Amino acid sequence: MNSLGLLLFKLAAEINLSNRKVPKSIVIGSGIAGIAAAIRLKAKGHEVDVYETNAYPGGKLSEFTQQGFRFDAGPSLFTMPSYVDELFALCNENAGEHFNYDRLSVVCHYFYNDGASFKADSDIDQLAVTLENTMGEERGTVSKYFKKSALIYRITTPVFLENSLHKISTYFNRKGLYGILNLWRLNLFTTMHDSNKQHFRNPKTQQFFDRFATYNGSNPYKAPATLNVIPHLEFGIGAYFPKKGMFSITSSLVELAERHGVKFHYNSRVERIVTEKGKVKGVLVNNDTVTADNVICNADVTPVYRHLLPQLKMPLKVKKAEPSSSALIFYWGIKQQFKDLELHNIFFSDNYKAEFDTIFTKQTIGDDITVYVNISSKYKMDDAPEGCENWFVMVNAPANTGQDWDVLITKTRQHIITKLSRLLKVDIAALIVSESILDPRSIEQRTSSNKGALYGNSSNKRMSAFLRHANFKSSVKGLYFCGGSVHPGGGIPLSLLSAKITAGLIP
Ligand code: FAD
């Protein structure tokens, strides 16, 4: 092409570009998936506005301070950091300049009621040695278990977690066919616990591996053994801690989004999603109708149908879904440091089966409970004043169905104090210098999550993965969904994947 031709070509391209309308997208909610979806759409060239009810971003992934102690309010365990890094890469930025994390060498310290304990080393070979020495398991059995866990990961991730389950194209390619042909290897017809019981002789080891069901708010005595993939995420790929605390996942991504032009509107609850003739028109927010080509709901899908989309019928599978477990959390400022405790610590109950029955069937909190203590000041020392620690003390709880939470809180607080005081050989009550409490009611109220569930729906049914809401609404063009309550599920990694799937579906 000669120089005149080139000039004419460039001119024509510019005219074409300037005529092309920039697509406008609205994201409802600034949970981690909402922020990630906003970044992805901005990178695609959309104009993006995020509307958030709260005065702060992050939803469940937020932080607060109390009397000199800083707390991450929700998630404390960070896996799959590459899903955060890739958002920086997408915007041509170097993640390391804004967001850093370390791999944990000890993932968690486990304590049993009879005084037994072990530290779970992140190295699988070392963990196998520990389980051999403390629980009498054969090393080879532990290694074999982790190989199976890694296999489930390889089969499920490319097909079932990184793609929409509701698009036929997901199944008609090499990876899709590999997933379908290998479905039989996913142990869908065995429960997590039964599979763990087949592998390990010591009930304490079984309890350790059963515990991973709680990572998506499920019951190991009901959830399919496919979820035994989770140990691979924690040990095979790794457990991490962001150098500036969990909330820095939210804050660094919000800053990234803002640097690239995403607009965040806080204190802005979306009241309605406006649709017309099978197409999204925009949202009603701050007494105004804001138009958009696409609306992406990051808010929990159940209240979205109930309040924002009264013009649509709530799908039966949303209406009937069993919510995941919720939690009761005590944020304690502790005026002592505990050398024996790690960042993550678990104090198991005696009867794990009864504990899950109490949560999911009786829908209450029992007396024999598993207590999780997270202490971020072990890594981020300025999270607590000198000589002190910030204890995030959590027990699993049922979703909110109107239980008498005040009574349950008083009773459970006493059980936790008695248990920890006995196992740590010190009067814990005397060490608490500040306290605040989060329960299923307040989780529901602060994050609009259905009944205060932490992870959307439970995975207690064999087909739960297929019962989650899709990332799009086929009857309404331009309406999409992301976040822990839709496909592929709850937790930070899956919420980030939901944003990736959703953004990938938007033209
Ligand atoms: P959410 O965090 O649910 O946020 C949704 C946002 O939408 C909220 O900010 C809400 O205010 C906003 N919103 C709702 N309705 C509207 C509206 N009408 N208009 C405007 N805004 C609206 N995950 C892990 O990976 N590791 C852990 O260790 C872990 N521990 C957890 C512990 C606790 C106590 C909790 C609560 C959760 C934990 N999780 C953990 C789960 C994890 O936090 C969630 O799965 C994930 O953060 C969900 O993100 P999301 O994008 O779905 O949005």
β-strand 106-111 against 117-121: which pairing, if any? antiparallel
Q: What pLDDT, on the 0 to 100 scale, is given for residue 467?
A: 85
Q: From ligand 1's centre to the CA of 64, what distance in Å?
A: 15
CA of 224 to the centre of ligand 1 (A): 24
pLDDT at position 8, please? 47
For β-strands 24-28 and 294-297, DSSP reports them as: parallel
Closest C-alpha residue for ligand 1 atom 30: 75
Nearest alpha carbon, ligand 1 atom 35? 74
> What distance in Å separates the CA atoms of residue 345 and residue 325, rounded to the nearest whole number?
20
Atom number of ligand 1 nearest to Cα 54: 11
Out of 39, 40, 60, 306, give the residue to mutate to test ligand 1, the one with the largest number of ligand atoms within 8 Å of its CB: 60
Q: Measured in angstroms, how far is the CA atom of residue 408 from the centroid of ligand 1?
A: 24
CA-proximal residue: ligand 1, atom 10 (nearest)? 447
pTM of the model: 0.94
- Tens digits of per-residue pLDDT, 76-102? 999 999 999 999 999 999 999 999 999
Structure tokens at 289: 């109708």
| Nearest residue (CA) to ligand 1, atom 33 | 74
Which atom of ligand 1 lies closest to the CA of 271?
A: 18
Non-local (6+) Cβ contacts of 45 within 8 A are 22, 23
Q: What's the pLDDT score for residue 185?
A: 80
Q: Residue 6's pLDDT is what?
A: 46
Please identify which residue in the block is written with the tokens 């993939």: 229
For the CA of 498, the nearest atom of ligand 1: 51
What DSSP string describes 354-404? HHHHHHHTS-S--SS--EEEEEGGGTSGGGS-TT-EEEEEEEEE---SS--
- pLDDT of amino acid 1: 40
| 58 C-alpha to ligand 1 centroid (Å) | 7
Between the CA of 484 and the centroid of ligand 1 the distance, in Å, is: 7
Low-confidence ranges of the chain (pLDDT < 50): 1-2, 4-6, 8-17
Q: Which two tokens stand for residue 35?
A: 């922020």
Residue nearest to atom 12 of ligand 1 (CA): 29
Residue 245: CB atoms within 10 A of its CB come to 22
User: Of all protein residues, whose CA lies closest to atom 8 belonging to ligand 1?
Assistant: 59
Measuring from each residue's beta carbon to the nearest atom of ligand 1, which residues come in under 6 Å?
A: 28-34, 51-54, 59-61, 74-77, 269-270, 298-299, 308, 327, 329, 443, 447-449, 454-455, 483-484, 490-492, 495
Per-residue pLDDT at 20: 65
On average, the pLDDT of the chain sits at 94
Longest dimension (CA), the chain: 86
Angle 388-389-391 (CA atoms, 0-180°, nearest 5)? 145
Element spanning 372, H or E: strand 371-375
Tell me the best of 298, 329, 371, 458 to mutate to test the pocket of ligand 1, counting ligand atoms within 8 Å of each CB and taking the most: 298
Ligand 1 centroid to 88 CA: how many Å?
21
